[in-house]
């Protein structure tokens, strides 16, 4: 999987939920979305990316992925 593309995608998702004033809730919603709509190998890929430092992930995206 193209990690850069996945990072861009999760950043897009996080950007949507960023309007949620409650930061925890926002991260939860990011994680929930990934859980519901991302195929497992995409999720593991993004998790691996996070483990390797999560280059390019926006702060909320990072917090979302952390919750997977």
Partner 1 sequence: MYSIDHKDLGTPAPASTGTVTLDIDGSTVTVPAGTSVMRAVALAGGHIPKLCATDSLKAFGSCRVCLVEIEGRKGFPASCTTEVAAGMKVRTQSPRIQKLRRGVVELYVSDHPLDCDTCPANGHCELQDAAAELGVEGSRYANGGASQRGVKQDASNPYFVFNPDLCIVCSRCVRACDETQGTLALTIEGRGFSSRVSASQHQPFLESECVSCGACVEACPTAALTEKLPLMLGAPTKAVSTTCGYCGVGCSLKAEVKEETVVRMVPNRAGTANKGHACVKGRFAFGYATHADRVRRPMIRKRITDPWREVSWEEAISYTASEFKRIQQKYGPNSVGGITSSRCTNEETFLVQKLVRAALGTNNVDTCARVCHSATGYGLKHTLGESAGTQAFTSVMKADVVMLIGANPTDGHPVFASQLKRRLRQGATLIVIDPRVIDLVRTPHIEAAAHLQLRPGTNVAVINALAHVVVTEGLANDAYAEERCEGDTYRKWKAFVSDARNSPEAMEAISGVPAALVRKAARMYAAGPNSAIYYGLGVTEHSQGTTMVMGIANIAMATGNLGREGVGVSPLRGQNNVQGACDMGSFPHEFSGYRHVSDAATRSLFEGAWNATLASEPGLRIPNMFEAALDGSFRALYIQGEDFVHSDPNTNHVVAALSAMECVVVQDLFLIETARYAHVFLPGSSFLEKDGTFTNAERRISRVRKVMEPLAGLADWEVTMQLAQALGYPMHYSHPSEIMDEIARLTPTFHGVTYEKLERLGSIQWPCNDAAPDGTPTMHVGAFVRGKGKFYLTEYIATSERSTSRFPLLLTTGRVLYQYNVGTQTRRTANLAWQEEDRLDIHPDDAEDRGIADGDWVGVTSRTGDMVMRAVVSRRMTPGVVYTTFHFPESGVNLVTTENSDWATNCPEYKVTAVEVVRVGQPEAWQARIRAERGAQRSPALPTACSHRDEC
Binding site for partner 1 (CB under 8 A): 1-2, 5, 8-9, 12-13, 15-16, 18-21, 33, 36-42
Q: For residue 23, give the 3-state DSSP assignment.
A: helix
DSSP E strand boundaries for 1-68: none
Nearer to partner 1, 12 or 55 (CB): 12
Shortest distance, position 50 Cβ to partner 1, whole Å: 18
Report how far residue 40's alpha carbon sits from residue 65's, in angstroms, rounded to the nearest whole number.
13
Shortest distance, position 37 Cβ to partner 1, whole Å: 6
Shortest distance, position 65 Cβ to partner 1, whole Å: 15
Q: What is the CA 20 to chain-centroid distance, rounded?
A: 15
Fill in the DSSP letter of residue 38: S
């Amino acid at each position: 999987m193209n990690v850069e593309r996945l990072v861009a995608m999760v950043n897009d998702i996080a950007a949507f939920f960023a309007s949620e004033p409650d930061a925890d809730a926002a991260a939860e919603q990011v994680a929930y979305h990934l859980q519901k709509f991302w195929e497992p190998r995409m999720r593991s890929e993004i998790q691996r990316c996070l483990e390797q430092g999560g280059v390019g992930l926006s702060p909320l995206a990072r917090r979302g992925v952390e919750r997977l």
